[in-house]
Amino acid sequence: MNAKVHELLNQQINKEFYSAYLYLDFSNYFEAVGLDGFANWYKIQAQEERDHAMLFYTYLQNESQTVTLDAIAKPDKTFTCHMDVLKAGLEHEEYVTSLINDIYAAAYDVRDFRTMQFLDWFVKEQGEEETNAHDLITKMELFGSDPKSLYMLNQELAARVYSAPSLVL
């Protein structure tokens, strides 16, 4: 495997674990303000991110590549309102999309078709993640100022259940 591609894939493990930490931080915020449905949504989001990290980890191991685990940064944002959290979530997903695109571009440059195929699932997944983040913002803009509607939205998010990614390595 090309050294740059290997390095970017290895860094992505850390970025995905950071994403899990970030979403747990979001969950903490919503739990503290009494929106347990929102907290649930982000706890499940954190589980997904941990699984994404493990997919990168397993891929590198399956390719006989060394995995180096670095320290995971502490989330450093402070939120003053619900919308700040949701907008930070969208911003973060757009950032992760840029990271996946960078790895894909590096793999393309060296004709690493196996890594490109592996990343195809993540490209699709990031599209879904950005859509979900946009949808949460839209729903909050529509319903967040009305307590009854916010309650219903919170109930909708409380119903989310975890399902592991279907990517086969």
The pTM is what? 0.93
DSSP string, 104-151: HHHHHHTT-HHHHHHHHHHHHHHHHHHHHHHHHHHHHHHHTTSHHHHH
| One pLDDT digit (tens) per residue for the chain, 169 residues | 999 999 999 999 999 999 999 999 999 999 999 999 999 999 999 999 999 999 999 999 999 999 999 999 999 989 999 999 999 999 999 999 999 999 999 999 999 999 999 999 999 999 999 999 999 999 999 998 899 999 999 999 999 998 877 666 6
